[in-house]
Amino acid sequence: MTVEKPTMIEFRDVHKYYGDYHALRGITAKIRAGEFFSLLGPSGCGKTTLLRTIAGFEGISSGAVMIDGKHMEGVPANKRPTNMVFQSYAIFPHLTVAQNVGFGLRRANLAKDELARRVGEALEMVGLKGYGARAAHALSGGQRQRVALARALILKPKVLLLDEPLSALDKKMREQMQVELIKLQRQVGITFILVTHDQEEALVMSDRIAVMFEGEIAQLADPETLYRRPNSKKVADFIGTMNFLPAEILSEGPGGIEIEAQGLGRVTLAPDQAPGAASGQGATVGFRPETLTILFEGQPTAERESMGTIEEVVYYGDMTYYDVRLDGTASPTRISMRNVFGRPVLDIGARARIAWSAGALVLFR
């Protein structure tokens, strides 16, 4: 199973201009067949534009988009092996659910009962069995989305494009649909490309994620790498919470990088703990809130420890977030602790021993 899956979509130095505005700035990436791929970024970063260049709704100014090895230049949207779930779902309001789902099958010239059978199958797949005769405008948001999914998947596209499909749903529904989408993708084996601004959604659902800022891909990696080894402060900041402390590089060799970090002291990092290219803005060390632990009384001494003062406590039920000022630092560090029954929540102003590990640090320079 270590064989690399074939490439389904390839961007080769794609540029897109809207007048003077440079929306896509040299996108080069490969998306593998059967992969759940996410384009993640803040609004205006070009992720939807990039998705629309795959669908054929948006032309590109230079470069190339390939789908399954074929050049897509000049191929209109209706001739591409892709289908899309629109952000607004774009359910045809004048048609029934079944007519919506069967819309794309007109050209297949199926017999009436065959058409009905396939529409029924598609509706069953998305959990809308028996809804075929309903008017499309009488559906709830979640149901509309399922219709949009069934309508796209019934055509058995090579690639399914999802443009922020969950953003209009409430939190519960969204979480439920995330799981359903993952299952559906495994079941049909089609390449899914999801556009989202919600980092949590991207982490939960994707095999790989491309983080985009200002028309460029900042990092393309699997969720775990993206979370643990972000290649820039910007990516680190966009995905989850990351603490930053100023650091100084003392020496760099094949064995590792020795640094002196504020509040943490002297540490030697493995080469892969500095995944980003040098930006020349000085060194910073970053670490996630859950990689630090507050040691309560009686807990044994850890290998790496620092002292700090608690400045803020935010109680979340299952978790408590502490903002701790490590001794010798200028800004507080966030630490998240799982609440354990019987253990008190610490007060503001208390002194605390903080345990951390060198392997959780990431160096940005």
Partner 1 sequence: MELGSRWDRFRRSEAASGYMLVSPTALYAILLLAAPLGTIILYSFLTDGYLEIVRTFTLANYHEAWTNELYRTVMLRSLGVSMAVTLVTVVLAFPVAYFVSFHVDPSRKSLWLFLITIPFWTSYLIRVFLWKVILGFNGVVNSGLMGLGIIDEPLTFILYNVNAVVITLAHAYAPFAILPIFVALEKIDRSLLEAGQDLGESRFMTFLRVTLPLAMPGVIASVLIVFIPTIGDYVTPQLVGGPEGRMVANLIQLQYLKLDNYPLGSAIAVSAMGIVTVVSLLFLFLNRRYLKGPKS
CB of 351 to partner 1, least distance (A): 57
Instruction: Report the residue number, 55 or 352, with the smaller CB distance to partner 1.
Output: 55
CB of 135 to partner 1, least distance (A): 8
User: SS3 string of 101-155?
Assistant: HCHHHHHHCCCHHHHHHHHHHHHHHCCCCCCCCCEHHHCCHHHHHHHHHHHHHCC
Residue reference for tokens 């393309």: 220
Instruction: Report the residue number, 154 or 226, with the smaller CB distance to partner 1.
Output: 154
**90 residue type, one letter:** A
CB of 194 to partner 1, least distance (A): 16
Instruction: Give the phi and the psi of residue 165 in degrees, each rounded to 5.
Output: -70, -20
Instruction: Report the residue number, 76 or 253, with the smaller CB distance to partner 1.
Output: 76
CB of 216 to partner 1, least distance (A): 26
Report helix, strand or coil for 310: strand
Q: How far is CA 140 from CA 121, 136, 165, 292, in A?
A: 21, 9, 14, 44
Assess contact for 197 and 168: CB atoms under 8 A.
no
Q: How many CB atoms lie within 10 A of CB 74?
A: 8
CB of 184 to partner 1, least distance (A): 18
User: What residue spans of 232-358 are helical by DSSP H?
Assistant: 233-238
Instruction: Report the residue number, 56 or 223, with the smaller CB distance to partner 1.
Output: 56
Binding site for partner 1 (CB under 8 A): 55-57, 76-78, 82-84, 86-88, 90, 92-94, 103-104, 106-107, 135, 137, 151-152, 155
Assess contact for 103 and 160: CB atoms under 8 A.
no
Instruction: Report the residue number, 67 or 285, with the smaller CB distance to partner 1.
Output: 67
CB of 173 to partner 1, least distance (A): 21
Instruction: Report the residue number, 76 or 300, with the smaller CB distance to partner 1.
Output: 76
